[in-house]
Amino acid sequence: MTTMDAARVAGRGPEQTVREAAFEVLRRFGLTTIFANPGSTEIAFLTGLPDDFDFTLALHEGSVVGMATGWATATGRPAFVSLHTTAGLANAAGALATARTNRAPLVVVVGQQDRRHLAHDPFLTGRLEGLVGDYPVWTGQPARAQDVPGALARAHHEAVSGAGPALVVVPMDDWLQPAEALRSAAAIDVRRGRPTLGPELDELAVALDEAHAPALVVGSAADDESSWSAVVTLAERLGAPVWQEPFGARAGFPQHHSAFAGHLPPTRSGARSALADNDVVLVLGAPAFRQYPWEPGDLVPAEATVFQVTPYADETHHSIADRAFVADVSLTCRGLVAKVRARAGKAAAVRPPAAALPPPRAGEPLRPGHVFDLLARWLPEDAILVEESPSSRPELHRRVPARAPLGFVSAAAGGLGFGLPAAIGLKLGAPHRPVVAVLGDGSSLYGIQGLWSAAHYHVGALFLVLSNGGYAIMDRLAEQSGQGKQPWPPFSEIRLGTVAAGLGCPADRITSYDELTDALSEVLPTLADRAGPRLLDIEVAADLTYG
């Protein structure tokens, strides 16, 4: 075998293109599932894909990134995304912001016009630098076509270590250029670190031992089996109540456990009231603290000492904690269990149980609480529940607890359009788990194109749309502002079931309690094995329970 033949066998011969070299890098890192909405600047990359690559189409870039975010969340691995130039990247901006806040690792290739005439500003030239702000954890614009494979390896590293979307901008002619040796790109390997505490663990243990009434606040970075187990053991040893962070992307504790106190209110006065009896607050895997409406006063009682443990260093920069530690939640909790004294008794119940609503009387409308009570009755324990129904979110929290890791997923960034495509990606990434999305009708319209992907790829998710004919949360906020009537009209004419059917997704319009009972009792028990999507368009009253 000649030197030239050996190089060709090794995949580094002069005949190899940048595209072929890029596929080698993508294979190395398991990035063989492509989520995309194609554009002309990606034709050279996407056409004639190798057989070991899977292409998943969505009809809007928000759905593309939402599905990829769900897939990455379910699998724990980076997802690969292909976006068109300016229009594609701009359409995906909100979804990329959610991916960043939800800590979803994404490797995103953004197409660009032909490098050979970029200087002349041809049609579809993307002015891409800064287009989506600081939401990417890293952005690479390779200086040469031959630098693209290495940039993809770098993007994988940045997506994993930065826990967010990493972008690589690739001019369309780069893919077919001759490649160079891939030694630097191929040698890169990435493993997410598990930072641990040293002497600081003793400091934290002493503070908890000396506390009169400690409390825990958990968040998304505690949402895995190891962390759930460790936090449960620590809470039981301390006899401490456990609060869920407000606006969390995921649940950090089993919400049917007797120590679960509820969701920490998203207001300063609410948080102070909830933590009024606690002199030490340990925040685990969550910001300290994310709020929504501004209020005067402290975030926590003045007498309380706040400690924070998070694997994300950037979370500490916005923290009001007295001491913040960048460390793994599970390992920290297990270390603390070995050091703190066991306390007698259990944490007093803080969260009042939500009594089931009686069925509506003749002529009365369904309310979100009716939907959630029936959902809780039949929802499998291992189900993944995706939430994007802002006006009824607190009601959902009160009535449908997360009972397994990855049991609750939402958009921590707050932008709409995440829930529907994320549910599809979650089911694709965790096909053995039942997936239910609880959506508002207004929220659904931001990502409704995703239903085509759910139908086309036979994704067995259930979509529950609470149709109240308007932006109920916005109506509530307008009412609270005291500035008069809102200018936006309702949209009660819309029938989401009709739209869903037009996109190939089976759907039913639900207007009565009996219809809802029949539908949920039929679908939920066998949801894990469902071979296609279903949408229930449920007519509900505009309950304004947000708070």
Over the stretch 69-89, which tens digit does the pLDDT of each residue have? 999 999 999 999 999 999 999
Q: Are residues 302 and 382 in the same domain?
A: no
Cβ distance 454 to 533 under 8 Å? yes
pLDDT at 13: 47
Q: What is the SS3 string spanning 195-234?
A: CCCCCHHHHHHHHHHHCCCEEEEECHHHCCHHHHHHHHHH
Nearest to 307 by CA among 291, 331, 324: 324
- Which CATH number belongs to the domain containing residue 159 in this structure? 3.40.50.970
pLDDT averaged per 10 residues in sequence order, the chain, 547 residues: 38 75 96 96 95 97 98 97 96 97 97 92 90 95 95 95 96 94 49 68 95 96 97 96 94 95 93 94 94 86 94 90 94 96 74 84 93 96 96 93 97 92 98 97 95 98 94 78 82 92 97 97 96 97 61
- Token duo for residue 314: 């950037």
Q: Are residues 319 and 463 in the same domain?
A: no
Q: Are residues 126 and 217 in the same domain?
A: no
Question: Within a domain: residue 344?
Answer: no
CA separation for the pair 331, 197 (Å, rounded)? 8
Q: Are residues 430 and 327 in the same domain?
A: no
**Do β-strands 534-539 and 507-510 pair in parallel, antiparallel, or remain unpaired?**
parallel
408-409 β-sheet, strand order: 408-409, 384-388, 435-440, 462-467, 534-539, 507-510
CA separation for the pair 490, 460 (Å, rounded)? 31
List all residues 6 or more positions away from 410 whose beta carbon is below 8 Å from its beta carbon.
247, 248, 249, 250, 386, 387, 388, 393, 418, 419
Question: Within a domain: residue 42?
Answer: yes
**What is the domain count for the chain?**
3
Nearest to 235 by CA among 346, 344, 131: 346
Burial status of residue 409 (CB atoms within 10 A of its CB: 0-12, 13-18, 19 or more): buried
Question: Within a domain: residue 193?
Answer: no
- Which CATH number belongs to the domain containing residue 283 in this structure? 3.40.50.1220
Q: Are residues 183 and 237 in the same domain?
A: no
pLDDT at 253: 97
pLDDT at 415: 87
Q: Are residues 231 and 376 in the same domain?
A: no
pLDDT at 349: 59
Boundaries of domain holding 245: 200-337
What angle do the packed helices 61-75 and 419-429 form, to 10 degrees? 40
Residue that finishes a domain, picked among 135, 162, 187: 187
Q: Is 80 helix (H, G, I), strand (E, B) or coil?
A: strand
pLDDT at 132: 95
Query: How many alpha carbons lie under 13 Å from residue 221 in its C-beta half-sphere?
Result: 27
Nearest to 341 by CA among 210, 444, 532, 480: 210
Q: Are residues 151 and 271 in the same domain?
A: no
Q: Where are the beta strands (DSSP E) in 229-376?
A: 242-244, 260-263, 280-284, 305-310, 323-326
pLDDT in tens, 364-419: 999 999 999 999 999 999 999 999 998 899 999 999 999 999 999 999 988 899 99
Residue that finishes a domain, picked among 187, 212, 236: 187
Q: Are residues 388 and 506 in the same domain?
A: yes
pLDDT at 473: 77
Burial status of residue 514 (CB atoms within 10 A of its CB: 0-12, 13-18, 19 or more): exposed
Residue that finishes a domain, picked among 147, 164, 187: 187
pLDDT at 337: 96
Q: Are residues 164 and 25 in the same domain?
A: yes
- Token duo for residue 287: 């910001």
Q: Are residues 380 and 516 in the same domain?
A: yes
Q: Are residues 297 and 232 in the same domain?
A: yes
Question: Within a domain: residue 165?
Answer: yes
Q: Are residues 152 and 280 in the same domain?
A: no
Question: Within a domain: residue 403?
Answer: yes
